[in-house]
Chain A
Amino acid sequence: MNVLRYFRIRSPWYCRLEVLAAVALLTHLLVVWAIPYAIMAALSASRAAEERGTGPLFPPMTDASSRRVVMPSPDLLYATCAFDVRQRPLRIQADPKLPGYWSIALYAANSDNFFVLNDRQAAGAPVDLVLLGPDTPAPAGLPAGAKVVTTPSGRGLLLMRVLVGDYAAEREAVEAARRTLRCTPLG
Chain B
Amino acid sequence: MSRANVQDPAFRPRWAGVLMLYLLAISIGAGSAWLAVRSQLEAGGVSAGVWRTSTLAGSTDADLYTRAVIAVGALLALNRDETMYYVATTDSVGRALRSRCRYRISGPAPAARWWSVTAYAEDRFLFPNAERRYSINGGSAPLDARGHFTFESGPAAPAGTLPAVPWLPTPGDRGLSFTLRLYNPAAGLAAAPATLAAPTIELLGSCE
Which residues in A have some Cβ–Cβ distance to B below 8 Å?
16, 20-21, 23-33, 35-36, 39-40, 43, 62-67, 69-75, 100-101, 103, 105, 107-108, 110-114, 116, 118, 120, 152, 157, 159, 163, 165-166
Shortest beta-carbon distance, A100 to chain B, in Å? 8
Do A69 and B34 contact each other (CB < 8 Å), given the known contacts A24-B28, A64-B129, A101-B184? Answer: no
Do A23 and B25 contact each other (CB < 8 Å), given the known contacts A64-B129, A113-B59, A165-B139? Answer: yes
Question: Could you tell me if A69 and B114 are in contact, using CB atoms closer than 8 angstroms?
Answer: no
Which of chain B's residues has its CB closest to A110's CB? B67
Q: How large is the interface on B (under 10, 10 to 19, 20 to 34, 35 or more residues)?
A: 35 or more
A33→B30 CA distance, assembly (Å): 11
Do A75 and B126 contact each other (CB < 8 Å), given the known contacts A23-B22, A32-B36, A36-B71? Answer: no
Question: Could you tell me if A159 and B76 are in contact, using CB atoms closer than 8 angstroms?
Answer: yes
Residue B4 interfacial (CB < 8 Å): no
Partner of B72, one of A35, A43, A67, A166: A35
Residues of A within 8 A of B60 (CB): 108, 112-114, 152
A74→B128 CA distance, assembly (Å): 12
A22→B64 CA distance, assembly (Å): 18
Residue B82 interfacial (CB < 8 Å): yes
Q: Report the tally of A-B residue pairs with Cβ distances under 8 A.
A: 154
The 8 closest A-B pairs by CB, nearest first: A27-B29, A31-B33, A74-B134, A36-B71, A113-B58, A64-B128, A24-B29, A165-B139
Contact with A along B61-98 (1 / 0, CB 8 A): 01011011011111111110010000000000000000
Partner of B30, one of A20, A27, A159: A27
Can you name 8 A-B residue pairings with CB atoms under 8 Å? A32-B68, A40-B75, A64-B132, A70-B72, A75-B137, A101-B113, A113-B58, A152-B60
Question: Could you tell me if B29 and A28 are in contact, using CB atoms closer than 8 angstroms?
Answer: yes
Shortest beta-carbon distance, B66 to chain A, in Å? 10
Shortest beta-carbon distance, B43 to chain A, in Å? 16
Do A39 and B71 contact each other (CB < 8 Å), given the known contacts A69-B76, A112-B58, A114-B60? Answer: yes
Shortest beta-carbon distance, A98 to chain B, in Å? 13
Do A74 and B118 contact each other (CB < 8 Å), given the known contacts A28-B29, A36-B67, A64-B126? Answer: yes
The prevalent SS among residues of B at the interface is mixed
Residue B21 interfacial (CB < 8 Å): yes
Which of chain A's residues has its CB closest to B119's CB? A74
Do A120 and B184 contact each other (CB < 8 Å), given the known contacts A32-B64, A64-B125, A74-B126? Answer: yes
> Known pairs A64-B129, A74-B118, A165-B139. 19 more at Cβ < 8 A?
A23-B26, A24-B26, A27-B33, A29-B64, A31-B33, A32-B33, A32-B36, A32-B64, A43-B75, A62-B126, A62-B134, A64-B134, A67-B125, A71-B118, A71-B125, A103-B78, A105-B82, A113-B76, A116-B79
